[in-house]
Amino acid sequence: MIDIKKILVPTDFSEYSRKSIKYGISLAEQYNAEVYVLYVFDDRIFDESLFILYTENEMRQNRKKVYNEQLEKIVCDIHSKSPQLELHRKLKVGIAFVEIIKFAKAENIDLIIMSSHGRTGISHLLIGSTTEKVVRKAPCPVLTVRPKEHEFVHP
Domains of the chain: 6-145 (3.40.50.620)
> How do residues 26-75 score in pLDDT, each as one tens digit?
999 999 999 999 999 877 655 555 555 667 777 778 888 999 999 999 99
Residue 92's contacts (CB-CB under 8 Å, 6 or more residues apart) are 38, 39, 40, 41, 99, 103
pTM of the predicted model as reported, rounded to 2 decimal places = 0.84
Closest CA to 78 of 154, 24, 15, 33: 24
Mean of pLDDT values over 100-115: 97
Please give the Cα distance from 40 to 108 (Å, whole number): 18
What are the backbone dihedrals phi and psi of residue 123, each rounded to the nearest 5 degrees, phi first? -65, -35
Residue type, 14: S
How many other C-beta atoms lie within 10 A of the C-beta of residue 98?
15
> How do residues 25-40 score in pLDDT, each as one tens digit?
999 999 999 999 999 9
The whole-angstrom distance between residue 9's C-alpha and the CA centroid of its chain comes to 5
Q: Do residues 140 and 110 lie in contact, with contact meaning Cβ atoms separated by under 8 Å? A: yes
